[in-house]
Amino acid sequence: MSIETISLSGRKKVVSNKEMTFWERLYLVAIVKGLWITLQHLFKRKVTIHYPEQVRERSVVYRGQHMLKRDEQGRENCTACGLCALSCPAEAITMKAEERKPDEKHLYREEKYASIYEINMLRCIFCGLCEEACPKDAIYLTISKELVPSNYDREDFIFGKDRLVMPLEMAMKNAQLKNAN
Amino acid sequence: MKVTIDGQSIEVEPGTTILQAARMIGGDLVPPAMCYYSKLKGSGGKCRCCLVEVAKGSDADPRPMPKLMASCVTGCMDGMEVNSKNSDRVTEARKAVTEFLLINHPLDCPICDQAGECDLQNLSFEHGKAKSRFIEEKRTFEPENIGPNIQLHMNRCILCQRCVQVADQLTDKRVHGVVDRGDHANISTCISKAIDNEFSGNMIDVCPVGALTDKTFRFKSRVWFNKPYNAHRDCDKCCGKTTVWMFGGEIQRVTGRKDEYHEVEEFICNSCRFDHKNVEDWVIEGPREFEKDSVINQNNYIRPLQKVEIATEKTILMGRDQDRKKISMSAIPLDINTEKS
């Protein structure tokens, strides 16, 4: 047996060069066959959606962009304990702690706070382990649809406290909502 | 004398306590100790963490001891049989003691500088409950300033009295003792009087919780972000053998070298601890190793790494200028010397 005739995969097919018959040369049968498949698909369940008008439902555990929470009095929860940075598998989080001054009691909840808190969004994999590790309920992965806005420079993907801390108005609104309930 | 602890036998000298014998055997059966410190005379017997069950008193008197014994102050007898980890009674008792110690502990580990190397954290990790049953208000003290080097948090204190023994045995003036009684018991006054002494900084190392911490290191970094190195220098007051805790090229903290039971090998003086924070002051011996499960090992690579040489153009490995720029933590320069100038 020569090497040409052995099929190692078992799927070897010999290509034939036989002449087409008259009906095959008309292509009518092939066209009708193809149209039949098209017709079948008209009545099947659609897998696509009309995106901007329709939005797919997100998973209940969807994890969007991070936010550093404030409590009802507008004070930052984060105490720079470093557990988020410790748990981060991508090593995306860095921080620097500072001691709270007596006149900053309305800004920070505890004695210590994060003076610098940075998340490298190029490194972040949105696993949510930081949220799980946080003992102070400070960092949250929100349900924001936009994960990271596009940009040109790498520096713009380092999110500092200016882009991570919950806006004060939102904290006020949360407090009002809580009081209403 | 032959002692059997959890089925393991060892020959010990007369006068050895059960805890010391257990430490000679080592491993899981070593009872936890919060107040006992082998380098300090008269320590132990206060925290009740190291309770063990004595199943057989000795060969001469084989009756079991009716109550659980504090192993750090109970001497070994010939033929004694002790159950430590094997006994359910002991496990229950340690759980209860842990809960008791945590009653007045503020649980502010996220703020505390001791977190990560705290004996109470380890103890409650091993023996603690997940939920607190204590609903009453915790005992609090007014914050007290005891000098520029040592930070006192009386709220975190578990009254092990190790620091009082340091003040008594290492410093020359005997100003020590626990002030007040019961719930109000505190150590502040006696500490602040001994604070000027050259060896007072050892209270920080000796403290099993975060009640006494290094003020020069306060909130600088969590312990697991530091890289600990063994280092030494010529010191006329102490042995000069320390562990330096570095962050980048900066020495953030200097402590004594602690062994596996978190006891310092040798006490160090205050000038080593607080005043020598320049890298030039120290001869760095190598990375300090910690027990396998310690959080301090996190992200530390102590394995010797082989340098990989890639035969290519230098400029390719260095990358473009804009890619080499430090982009995170822009407020902190890479080289601390540029910050100073």
* Whether B219 and A158 lie within 8 Å, measured CB to CB: no
Nearest to A120 among B110, B323, B328 (CB): B328
Output the pLDDT for position B237: 85
Determine phi and psi for B278, rounding to 5 degrees. Answer: -90, 145
B339 touches chain A (CB under 8 A): no
Nearest to A155 among B111, B299, B327 (CB): B327
Domain shared by B193 and B233, yes or no: no
DSSP B32-70: P-SS--TTSTT--SSS-TTEEEEEE--SSS-PPPSS-EE
The DSSP element (H or E) to which B81 belongs, if any, is strand B80-83
Domain shared by B191 and B289, yes or no: no
Cβ contacts of A120 on chain B, cutoff 8 Å:
327-328
Domain shared by B208 and B230, yes or no: no
Domains: count for chain A: 1
In a domain, A158, yes or no: yes
In a domain, B111, yes or no: no
In a domain, A109, yes or no: yes
Check whether A88 is labelled as a binding-site residue.
Answer: yes
In a domain, B106, yes or no: no
Q: Average pLDDT of A33-54?
A: 92
Please give the Cα distance from B258 to B240 (Å, whole number). Answer: 14
Which range marks the domain in which residue B191 is found? 119-217
* Whether A98 and B219 lie within 8 Å, measured CB to CB: yes
In a domain, A144, yes or no: yes
Check whether A127 is labelled as a binding-site residue.
Answer: yes
Closest C-alpha among B233, B155, B221, B168 to residue B197: B168
pTM for the whole structure: 0.81
How far apart, in Å, are the Cα atoms of B332 and each of A100, A121, B247, B341?
A: 19, 19, 12, 14
Domains: count for chain B: 3
* Whether B220 and A97 lie within 8 Å, measured CB to CB: yes
* CATH code of the domain in which B57 resides: 3.10.20.740
* Whether B219 and A154 lie within 8 Å, measured CB to CB: no
Domain shared by B41 and B140, yes or no: no
In a domain, A26, yes or no: no
* CATH code of the domain in which A154 resides: 3.30.70.3270
Output the pLDDT for position B340: 40
B237 touches chain A (CB under 8 A): no
* Whether B220 and A91 lie within 8 Å, measured CB to CB: no
Provide the angle, in degrees to the nearest 10, between the axes of the packed helices B119-127 and B88-102: 130
- What number of other Cβ atoms are within 10 A of residue B85's Cβ? 16
Which range marks the domain in which residue A152 is found? 66-180
Domain shared by B14 and B94, yes or no: yes
Rg, chain A, Cα only: 30
Tell which wins on pLDDT, B187 or A54.
A54
The nearest alpha carbon in chain B to A77 belongs to: B110
* Whether B328 and A79 lie within 8 Å, measured CB to CB: no
In a domain, B113, yes or no: no
Triad B151, B153, B156: Cα angle to 5°: 140
CA distance B276 to chain A (A): 22
Closest C-alpha among B6, B47, B49 to residue B26: B6
Output the pLDDT for position B107: 85
Check whether A78 is labelled as a binding-site residue.
Answer: yes
Output the pLDDT for position B329: 81
Please give the Cα distance from B297 to B227 (Å, whole number). Answer: 9
* Whether A81 and B108 lie within 8 Å, measured CB to CB: no
Check whether A111 is labelled as a binding-site residue.
Answer: no
* CATH code of the domain in which B180 resides: 3.30.70.20
DSSP B155-176: GG-----HHHHHHHHTSSS---
Please give the Cα distance from B67 to B59 (Å, whole number). Answer: 19
CA distance A124 to chain B (A): 13
Tens-level pLDDT at each residue, chain B (341 residues): 899 999 899 999 988 999 999 999 988 889 999 999 998 888 888 888 999 999 988 888 888 999 999 999 999 989 999 998 888 999 999 999 999 999 989 988 999 999 989 999 999 999 988 888 888 888 888 888 887 888 888 899 898 888 888 888 887 765 556 777 777 787 765 556 666 778 888 889 999 999 889 988 999 889 988 889 999 998 888 888 999 999 888 899 999 999 888 999 989 998 889 988 888 889 989 888 888 888 888 766 667 778 877 777 777 777 777 777 788 887 777 665 544 43
Cβ contacts of B221 on chain A, cutoff 8 Å:
82, 97
Domain shared by B230 and B278, yes or no: yes
B115 touches chain A (CB under 8 A): yes
SS3 state of residue A152: coil
* Whether A83 and B110 lie within 8 Å, measured CB to CB: yes
Mean pLDDT of chain A, nearest integer? 89
Domain shared by B174 and B247, yes or no: no
Domain shared by B252 and B316, yes or no: yes
Residue A154 binned pLDDT confidence (cut-offs 50, 70, 90) = confident
Mutate to test the interface with B, among A76, A78, A79 (most CBs of B within 10 A): A79
Q: Average pLDDT of A92-116?
A: 90
Cβ contacts of B332 on chain A, cutoff 8 Å:
96, 116
The DSSP element (H or E) to which B314 belongs, if any, is helix B314-318
Domain shared by B94 and B128, yes or no: no
* Whether B225 and A85 lie within 8 Å, measured CB to CB: yes
B141 touches chain A (CB under 8 A): no
Check whether A136 is labelled as a binding-site residue.
Answer: no
* Whether B299 and A91 lie within 8 Å, measured CB to CB: yes
Please give the Cα distance from B169 to B40 (Å, whole number). Answer: 7
Domain shared by B162 and B204, yes or no: yes
Tell which wins on pLDDT, A58 or B313.
A58
CA distance B109 to chain A (A): 8
Please give the Cα distance from B80 to A138 (Å, whole number). Answer: 53
Please give the Cα distance from A27 to A29 (Å, whole number). Answer: 6
In a domain, B108, yes or no: no
Domain shared by B123 and B166, yes or no: yes
Output the pLDDT for position B339: 43
Domain shared by B211 and B224, yes or no: no
**CB B159, CB B181: distance < 8 Å:** no
Output the pLDDT for position B85: 87
Chain Cα centroid distance, residue B36? 12
How far apart, in Å, are the Cα atoms of A65 and each of A58, A135, B12, B221?
A: 14, 19, 61, 26
B301 touches chain A (CB under 8 A): no
